Amino acid sequence: MTFTRLRATLEFLGGERDDAPLLLSGKYAWVARCAVWMLAIVLIYFFSGQSSKFIYIDF
């Protein structure tokens, strides 16, 4: 993927542009959308414990 496509994809995901890039509008766009949601879910999952106060870290 060229830098331009990556930028277009990120801008679309961020709401900066309305026209979906090829990656997110082609025949297998659902795969790419799944990957985007998967990344979002994993990031949320990892960072959702920030309000926890850790004393022990060896578990």
Partner 1 sequence: MSKRPLLPLLIAAGLLLVAINAAMGIWSHRLPFRIKLEQIRASHDANIVFVGNSLLDGRIDHDILARTAKSRCASLNSVNAALGAVDPPEQRLLFNYARRLNPGIRTVVVGFFDFQLTASDNSRAVDLIGNRLVGVDRRFSAREVASAYNFGLVDRATMEILRWSPMAAYRGSAWKEVELLRRSMGTMGMPAVATNSMGRVSDFAGLEAADTQAFDKHAADFLDNLNQFNRSYEWIFDQAARSHTRVVLLLMPMSPYHRSAFYSRPAWPKYLAAIESLAAQRGYGVIDASEWIPNDDDFADHLHMTINASKGFTARVGSALTAMPDR
What is the binding site for partner 1 (CB under 8 A)?
Answer: 30-31, 33-34, 37-38, 41-42, 45-50, 52-59
Number of Cβ within 10 Å of residue 49's Cβ equals: 8
Q: CA-CA-CA-CA torsion for 11, 14, 17, 22, nearest 10 degrees? A: 60
CB of 22 to partner 1, least distance (A): 15
The residue behind tokens 């659902």 is 30
Of residues 2 and 46, the one with the C-beta less far from partner 1: 46
Amino acid in the structure at residue 49: G
Shortest separation between residue 36's beta carbon and partner 1, angstroms: 11
Is 10 or 42 the residue whose CB approaches partner 1 more closely? 42
